[in-house]
Structure 1
Amino acid sequence: MHVVVNAAMSADGKLSSRYREQIRISGEADFDRMDALRAASDAVVVGVGTVLADDPHLTVKDDKRRQRRLEAGKSPSPARVVVDSRGRIPPEAAVIDDAAETYVCVTQDAPTENVDGLAEHATVVPAGTGSVDLPEAFAALESAGLESIMVEGGGELIFSLVETDLVDELRVFVGPRIIGGRDAPTLADGEGFVGDFPELALEDVKRLDGGVVLSWRLDSDAAV
C-alpha cells in the first residue's frame, strides 16, 4: 500500500478558520491537480470531521479522467473511505451515495444502530476500540484491493496516520493567505509530537495558483 496525504493550507499552516468552515485556499489549477491525484488512486480517505463540516462527494470531476478509468476496467471514481469511530455519518451525506463504493472505518464499540444504518450504504470496517486502529483498518482496506491511497484530511486524521507510520508522501499546496487563530485547524492536529519528530525529505517544489506545491517523502527511519 502507498499512502499520499494531499492538503491545501494557508501560509500560516491553517486548513480553515477557527469556525471550521470551508475556505478557498487554492485555485482552479490546484483543484485540477487534486482531481488528477484522485483519478490515479484506488481510494480517497477523509475523517468524519471533514464529512460533517464540508459534506464532500470525493469523486473524480473531470469527464476525461472518469472515462480513462472506465477504459482501464475501473469505476469512474475511486472508493471513498471515512474514518468514523462512532459511525456519525448522517444518512444524507454525499459520501455514502451510489456514485462510488464507500468504506466506513469504525470501532468495535461504535453504537450498533449507527453501524447498522451505515451498513445499508457502505462497507463497514470495524477496527479497534475507543478510536479506530488505523494500521488494522488500512490492512483491511489493502486486503480489499485498495493499494494506492489518497488522504484528504483533516488534521486529526493526518496526525494519527503520521504517528502510526502509515504515510509515504505528503503533498501540500501552500496558499497566499493568512488565516490565523490558535483554534483554527492545522495540517497535523492531535496531541502533537514532543520528541522523535518525523523527518521529511523534500522531493519537488512547484509554483501554482499564486502559491506553491511542496512534495515531501516521509522517512520513517529518521527523526529530529
Structure 2
Amino acid sequence: MHVVVNAAMSADGKLSSRRREQITISGPEDFARVDRLRARSDAVVVGVGTVLADDPHLTLDDPELREQRLEAGKSEHPARVVVDSNARTPTDARIVDDAAATYLLVSESARFDRRAELARPSVEFVTAGEGRVDLLRAFASLQERGIEEVMVEGGGELIFSLVESGLVDELSVFVGPQLVGGRDAPTLADGDGFVENFPELTLEDVERMDDGVLLRWTLAE
C-alpha cells in the first residue's frame, strides 16, 4: 500500500484557526492538483475531527476525471475512509451519502446503536483495535479489500498517528501566504509529538503554485 498525506497549511504551519473552522489557504491551481491526486487514489482518508469540523464530501469535482476513472473500469469516485474510533460521524454527514463507498474505521468500543444509525448500503464498518483504531490492522484490512493507493487529507491528529505507525510514504504540503497563529490552532502533525527518533524526510520537489509553494517529501522507511 502506498500512502500519501496531502495538506495545505499557513506559513506558520497551521491547518486552520484556533476555532478549527475550515479556512482557505491554497488557490485554484492547488485545488485542481488535489482533485487529480484524489482521482489517482483508491481511497481518500480523513479523521472524524475533520468530518465534524468541515463536513467534507471527498468526491471528484472535475467531470473529466470522473469519466477517466469510469473508462479505466474504476468507480466514479475513490472510496472514502473515516478513522472514527467511537463512531461519532453524524448520520447526516455528506461523507456517508451514496455518492461513493465509505469505510468507517472503528474500534471495538464503538457503540452498536451508533453503528446501527450509520448503517446503509454505501457504508462498511472495519473494526480494528479496542479503545481506539489500530491503524496498522485497519489499513491492512483496507488493503485486503483492494485498496492500494491511499490519499490522506487530515487532520493533524491522524497525520501524526499515521507517521508514528510508519504508514506514510509521501508528504505533499501546500504552504500558503498567510499567518494564522494561535497555540491551540491545529498543525500539520498534532498528537503527542515526537521527543526523539524524529521521522526523517527527503525533499523530492519544490514548485511555486498560486501565491504559495508546494513541497513534496518522501519518508524514510
TM range (shorter): over 0.9
Partner in structure 1 of residue 204 of structure 2: 203
What is the deviation of 1:118? 2.1
- Is 2:103 aligned against 1:99? no
- Quote how far apart the aligned CAs of 1:91 are: 0.9
Regions of 4+ moved over 6 Å: none
- Alpha-carbon deviations, 1:72-116, whole Å to 9, x = none? 011111000000000011111000001000000000111111122
Please give the per-residue CA displacement for 1:199-223, whole angstroms capped at 9, x wherever unaligned: 0000000000110000000002xxx
Is the Cα contact below 8 Å between 1:14 and 1:184 reproduced in 2? Answer: yes
User: Equivalents in 1 of 2:113, 2:37: separation in Å?
Assistant: 35
Q: 1:10-29 deviations in whole A, cap 9, x for unaligned?
A: 00000000000000000011
Residues in 1 aligned to 2:35 and 2:143: alpha-carbon distance in whole angstroms: 22
In the alignment, what sits opposite 2:193?
192
What is the identity, as a one-letter code, of the residue corresponding to 2:185?
A
Does the 8 Å contact 1:127/1:133 carry over to 2?
yes
1:51 has 2:51 as partner: yes
State whether residues 118 and 124 of structure 1, in contact with CA within 8 Å, keep that contact through their aligned partners in structure 2: no
Partner of 1:122: 123
Tell me the distance in 2 between the aligned counterparts of 1:67 and 1:158: 30
2:84 alignment partner in structure 1: 84
Cα shift at 1:130: 1.1
Give the distance between the partners of 1:173 and 1:36, measured in 2 at CA.
15
**In the alignment, is residue 175 of structure 1 matched against residue 176 of structure 2?**
yes
SS, match of residue 200 in structure 2: strand
Number of aligned residue pairs: give it.
220
In structure 2, what is the Cα distance between the partners aligned to 1:17 and 1:130?
A: 29
> Residue 154 of structure 2 aligns with which residue?
153
Show structure 2 runs of 5+ residues with no match: none
For the aligned residue pairs, the C-alpha RMSD in angstroms reads: 0.6
| Alpha-carbon distance between aligned partners in 2 of 1:210 and 1:93, rounded to the nearest angstrom | 32
Aligned to 2:135: 134
Secondary structure of 2:11 counterpart: coil
TM-score normalized by the length of structure 1: 0.97
Residue identity opposite 1:106 in structure 2:
V
Tell me the CA shift for residue 119 of structure 1. Answer: 2.7
TM-score normalised over the length of structure 2: 0.98
Deviations 1:144-170 (A, max 9, x none): 000000000000000000000000000
**Corresponding residue for residue 6 of structure 2:** 6
- Between the aligned partners of 1:112 and 1:66, the Cα distance in structure 2 is 35
